[in-house]
Amino acid sequence: MTNETKQTLVIDEEQFLPRREMSNLERWLGTDTYRALRGMVTNPTSIVGLVLLGLFLFIALAAPILAPPISSNPYQIPRDGYGSVPKPPGTLWNSRQPELPFWWKPIMGTDQWVHIMGTASGQWDIYYGVVWGTRTALQVGLLITFVGAAVGITIGAVSAYYGGWLDMVLMRITDIFMAFPFMLAAMTLSAVLTPVLGKGLFPPMIALMAFGWTGFARLLRSDILSVREREYVLAAQVIGVKDARILFRHILPNAIFPTLVLGSMRIGSYVITFAGLSFLGIGAEVGYADWGQLLSFARAWMTNLGEYWYIVIFPGVALVLFTLSWNLVGDALRDVLDPRMQGSR
Amino acid sequence: MAVGIDLGKPTSQHLLEVRDLTTRFYTEDGVVHAVNGISYTLDEGETLGVVGESGCGKSVHALSMMRLIPIPPGKIEKGEVIFKGRDLLKLSEEEMRHIRGAEIAMIFQDPMTSLNPVLTIGFQITESLQLHQGMDKAQSRERALELLDMVGIPEAALRLDDYPHQFSGGMRQRAMIAMGLSCNPSILIADEPTTALDVTIQAQIVDLVKRLQDKLGMTVIWITHDLGVVAGMADRVNVMYAGSIIETGPVKYIYGDPHHPYTLGLLGSLPNPEGSMGVRLYSIPGEPPDLVGMPKGCPFAPRCTFKVERCLHEMPMLEEIEPGHLAACWEKDRVRRV
Ligand SMILES: Nc1ncnc2c1ncn2[C@@H]1O[C@H](COP(=O)(O)OP(=O)(O)OP(=O)(O)O)[C@@H](O)[C@H]1O
Ligand SMILES: [Mg+2]
């Protein structure tokens, strides 16, 4: 009797889940990444977002070809004289015409370079501003978000991990930073920093970083706190894994996704805020390729926008589409990550 | 040094000796008396069943031994947990980490939540091997394959890079067991490892652990609220109620000759094996006490059909009935299995 029971080993009674065939790509990327990526390229919202984003990336990368720089500083928008009245799209370049891009003649059949998007008052070429401004937007948006997220993630993780009085202190500091209205705080700080660092992109960027990390810290902290209660964290403790490793390998990968989604959503809004500061004259020096700066050229012509629409429309549309693309991507990221998280809990 | 016994030094000829372990949680609602001075010993190769209703402190008692209760709100108030002659409660955190997983392993109730969804099964099994046995990646994978094979997961080589959601519940629990056993621990604590599984798979897991125990000579602490599960596998049983051990003894006495009304109640709630037709399902009326502000007297008194005046005022202590069989009840001589 005992022999009999010993011999019927226990494997077969349970129906094991059949092993799903995986493609090589899936094997290489890992199931989760693969699923997320597949979600990203099949979800219509995210396709629109990704296409727009791809377009901006292309413009940024191809800027020297799309708009060959005139001086050693390519971010300096070339100007065609000093007249104060804007000129409409299609106006010929008069003076100091930049080098003609190679694609212009085969397409247009002429040697004559025009102001493709018109000029702003002061004869700044809007096309150059929009094209090179794409680079500025990407740099500014990514850098602010990157630094802001890094600071926020560090503070959020430390806070959740150590808890106790350190958590208390860090969260009260976060509260204080959050208590300031974001735009106003960023404006004040960059105005204070400008005399110290000189006029340029840095004062507003630093100001936005200084006030932008709070959302990341809060979000990550609460997600870590909730993940920390999961049984698999206890299971890792039970086998004697070091606390720091538990945080980085076991908790963070489960808690970081909402923060990444927030990050991608924030890129657009930082660029908008940055443009807002530029518009107010805090930020890039005059003539620096930056969408907010271009928009500020329209300030004197607010009442005649019917006539001078091009000063607002081109940089404005660029700004809106840029923000939209990041929001769509962020939205789609959240959609593809959420069901995954539910499915695997 | 010279003469006499050094009482300051914890010594024990048992593999594990728990003395007066007491754990409380200081919550906003008051002090939760989760574990109230439990003591027992465990020898090599033995299987101990820990049985009791939900919330009676079974898990907290195990986690206290592993020093893994959240502090705060939790606090191990007093006691000793002497494992291989060393008091675990006095070890440094670093020393304790080398006990966990390597010497004492633990598996949990819900295999759906106790595996990390973003890490592969292979990663989770090899982690402990790399940690405690200094194996490199290749060696630990090799060993993980053996382990998965041993716990009965087919095509282990292909399964190593799977994520938990690709495993069924029973397979996950097998993987958890593989994780637990990876470093040949002396003690395996199984905290209701079958509760979340359906009945046939429960039986398989119980069987698996029994076989592995025979093979590896482990000591097992099997926590459950189902006396039926431990009947076939335990050598001894601790019956817990409201954070205390209220009856303990060899499994045959606990089943054949219980002397605490609560044990009787737990047994009554088992399907009666004799009455082939009338399967009697009897559960103990009333609720287990809330462990905040423990009543004076016997905690089981409010639900007890044997209670007398004395039970309401005086807490009974564990007293011997026969060698190795103890019960904490003033009326234990009246309590008999019918
Ligand atoms: N982190 C905590 N904070 C406060 N109270 C806790 C905490 N963990 C456990 N408790 C309390 O300790 C008591 C014992 O809980 P424990 O988890 O040990 O019960 P159990 O016997 O394992 O029950 P189950 O069969 O449901 O697992 C319960 O009253 C519970 O509410
Ligand atoms: Mg429990």
Delimit the domains of chain A by residue range.
54-67+133-344
Q: Which residues of A touch B164 (CB under 8 A)?
A: 344
Q: Which two tokens stand for residue B229?
A: 């599960």
- Structural domain includes residue B174: yes
Chain B residues within an 8 Å CB radius of A337:
none
Whole-number pLDDT of residue A20? 56
* Residue B234 belongs to a domain: no
Number of the ligand closest to the Cα of B225: 1
Q: Is residue B295 part of a domain?
A: no
How much is the pLDDT for A314?
92
Is the model's pLDDT at A27 over the cut of 70? Answer: no
Query: What pLDDT is stored for residue B330 in this prediction?
Result: 87
Average pLDDT value over all residues in chain A: 83
What's residue A311's pLDDT? 86
Confidence class for position A1, pLDDT limits 50, 70, 90: very low
Of A27, A241, A345, Cβ closest to residue B117: A345
Topology annotation, domain A54-67+133-344: MetI-like fold (1.10.3720)
Residue B119 maps to a domain? yes
8 Å CB contact between A235 and A296: no
Query: Contacts of residue A242 in chain B, CB cutoff 8 Å?
Result: 97
Nearest by CB to B116, which of A17, A19, A232?
A: A232
Residue B65: per-residue pLDDT: 92
d(CA A256, CA A279) in angstroms, rounded, equals: 34
* pLDDT tens digits, B102-145: 899 998 887 778 888 888 888 988 998 888 888 888 888 988 99
The tally of domains found in chain B comes to: 1
Is B131 contained in some domain?
A: yes
Whether B85 is in a domain gets the answer no
Atom of ligand 1 nearest to the CA of B27: 4
Are β-strands B16-27 and B74-83 bridged in parallel, bridged antiparallel, or unpaired? antiparallel
Nearest CA to ligand 1 atom 18: B57
Calculate the average pLDDT of chain B: 83
Identify the pLDDT of residue A22: 64
As a whole number of angstroms, the distance between CA B292 and CA B303 comes to 17
Q: Does B100 touch chain A (CB under 8 A)?
A: yes
Residue A343, CA distances (Å) to A23, B160, B163, B178 in order: 20, 20, 12, 24
Domain that holds residue B177: 104-184
Rounded CA separation A114/A103 (Å): 13
Q: Is the CB of B56 under 6 A from ligand 1?
A: yes
pLDDT-derived band at B12 (thresholds 50, 70, 90) equals low
Percent of chain A with pLDDT over 70: 90
Residue B314 counted as domain residue: no
Q: Residue A2 and residue A263: Cα distance in Å, rounded?
A: 62
Quote the longest CA-to-CA distance of chain A.
Answer: 105
| Residue B34 in contact with ligand 1 by CB distance below 6 A | yes
For range A28-45, the mean pLDDT: 74
B227: pLDDT strictly greater than 90? no
Between the alpha carbon of residue A220 and those of residues A1, A150, A151, A159, A163, the distances in Å are 58, 11, 11, 10, 14
Q: What is the pLDDT of residue A90?
A: 81
If one compares A279 and A9, the residue with the highest pLDDT of the two is A279
Interface predicted TM-score (ipTM) over 0.95: no
Q: What is the pLDDT of residue A140?
A: 92
Question: What are A298's two structure tokens?
Answer: 């329209």
Q: How many CA atoms lie within 13 A of A261 on its CB side?
A: 19
**Range of A109-123, A143-157, B199-213 with top mean pLDDT:** A143-157
What digits encode the pLDDT tens for the residues B34-80? Answer: 999 899 999 988 999 999 888 899 999 999 999 999 887 889 999 99
Q: Which two tokens stand for residue A130?
A: 């929009």
- Better-scored residue on pLDDT, A262 or B155: A262
User: Could you tell me which chain B residue has the CA closest to the CA of A256?
Assistant: B118
CA of B331 to the centre of ligand 2 (A): 29
Looking at beta carbons, which residues of chain A come within 8 Å of B166?
A: 17, 19-20, 31
What confidence score (pLDDT) does residue B10 get? Answer: 54
Ligand 1 atom with least separation from CA of B225? 25
Q: Which residues in chain B are closer than 8 Å to A254, comparing Cβ atoms?
A: 116-118
Whole-number Å distance between alpha carbons of A110 and A99: 14
**Ligand 1 centroid to residue A234 C-alpha, Å:** 15
Of B99, B101, B200, the CB nearest to A13: B200
Residues A252-262 have a mean pLDDT of 86
Contact B161 A27 (CB under 8 A): yes
B330: helix, strand or coil: coil
Give yes or no for residue B71 CB within 6 A of ligand 1.
no
Is residue B4's pLDDT more than 50? no
Rounded Cα–Cα distance for residues B212 and B218 (Å): 8
Q: Which of B60, B113, B191 to mutate to test the pocket of ligand 1 (most atoms within 8 A of CB)?
A: B60
Whether B171 lines ligand 1, by a CB cut-off of 6 Å, is no
Coil vs helix vs strand at A333: helix
Residue B27 lies in a domain: no
**pLDDT band, residue A21 (cuts 50/70/90):** low
User: Per residue in B232-286, pLDDT tens?
Assistant: 888 999 999 999 999 999 998 888 888 888 888 887 754 444 443 333 445 677 7
The predicted-structure confidence for A40-94, as pLDDT tens digits, reads as follows 778 788 889 999 999 999 999 988 888 888 778 888 888 888 888 888 888 888 8
